[in-house]
Amino acid sequence: MAGLTFRQQEQLFHELAQLARSGVPLNYAFEILSRTARSRIGASLKAVRENLQSSGEAGRAFREAGFSASDAAVIEAGEATGRLDVVFLELEDYYRQLADARRSIISQSIYPVLVLHLGAALLAIPPAITEGGWPAFLAHSLPILGVFYVALFAASILWRLGRALLSRNAAAALFLMRIPLFGPFLRDWTAWRFSSVLSLYAGAGGSLLRAFEIAGSSCGNAHLNGATSSAIALVRAGQSLGEAFRRQRHIPELLERAIDVGENSGRLDEETRRAARIFREKTLGTLDALGQWTPRILYIVIVLLLGWRIIGVASEISNSVNDAVKSVP
């Protein structure tokens, strides 16, 4: 996403929110923040500003500058309702929480990763002594570290692939949401984005159907987006919002109830805001649990890898001793 980290995106949207709240025109806000063009934030906003001057649409300008389609859709909602300051604050909060969760996971994983590297080095010392030098040391230590980094790389690729499929293919999104542990996290995460955007747009008094369209396109879940499009078609055919969404399969019950109650009470913005808060708490709770379990999983991996290597080293030493004994006349 425009080459920015979660923390940089948090900073960017914080600054945009502050300027928007002070009544600074968006184009001038981009000019102010892009003055430091050497920074990633400045360079990204310079591209956004150039795109805004040519298109005149903030959401489109962010999308063409390399920001995610979901963020661009959220900004489009803020632009359409005149609440860009609120949208920028929401995005700041969103990326702050993601940055905090990532930092927690990384900080809790540093120690076990160091233990793995130290263990691989210590286990490679005896073979290096008996077999002679650095080539033997590297031959015995690198396989352990190689397995670890290959697994880490594969996990990263699978995560990126999963996110791409989730946002682009409805059938794949439905399949991913059925995976134990991983699926509920994806469902809550995307429902959080959906409910948050919907509450912002509905609270500003914009077109409800347009609010649902933008919420669907910004949530990053192709199944939820497709279900929303089907529900909108049913509403246009004369059904109520609650009834239309109840007819969609695999929609989170909390979201269905929020839409139904919000429609009948005239408080759709409040009900979807409450749903967004609950989905956010569940998402962050899962990330917190991941932060606690990641080092434990790493310790299990370390035990298995080092155990495998200890058996190998012991076998090699035993063979060396046996060969030495046999060579004695």
Q: Which whole-number Å values give the CA distances from 25 to 16, 29, 84, 238, 283, in the listed order?
A: 10, 6, 11, 41, 34
pLDDT tens-place string over residues 277-329:
999 889 888 888 877 777 777 777 777 766 776 776 677 666 666 666 666 55
Percent of the chain whose pLDDT exceeds 70: 90
| Residue 35: strand, helix, or coil | coil
pLDDT tens-place string over residues 59-108:
888 888 888 877 887 788 788 778 888 889 888 988 898 888 888 878 87
Residue 85: other Cβ atoms inside 10 A: 17
Q: Is the pTM of this model over 0.95?
A: no
pLDDT tens-place string over residues 40-68:
777 778 888 888 888 778 888 888 888 88
pLDDT tens-place string over residues 113-146:
887 788 778 777 777 777 767 787 888 788 878 8
With contact defined as beta carbons under 8 Å apart, do 278 and 254 qualify?
yes
Structure tokens at 116: 């793995």
Structure tokens at 2: 């425009």
Q: Which of 15-29, 203-217, 229-243, 300-314 tops mean pLDDT?
A: 229-243
Ordered by where they begin, the domains of the chain are: 6-91 (1.20.81), 97-329 (no CATH)
User: What pLDDT is recorded for position 1?
Assistant: 45
> Whole-angstrom Cα distance, residue 111 to residue 89?
35
Closest C-alpha to 184, from 271, 274, 69, 192: 192
Q: Where are the alpha helices (DSSP H) in the chain?
A: 6-21, 26-33, 40-55, 58-64, 69-81, 84-131, 134-168, 170-176, 182-203, 208-218, 222-236, 241-246, 253-265, 268-327
With 60 as the cut, is the pLDDT of residue 179 above it?
Answer: yes
> Whole-angstrom Cα distance, residue 135 to residue 260?
68
First to last CA, the chain: 71
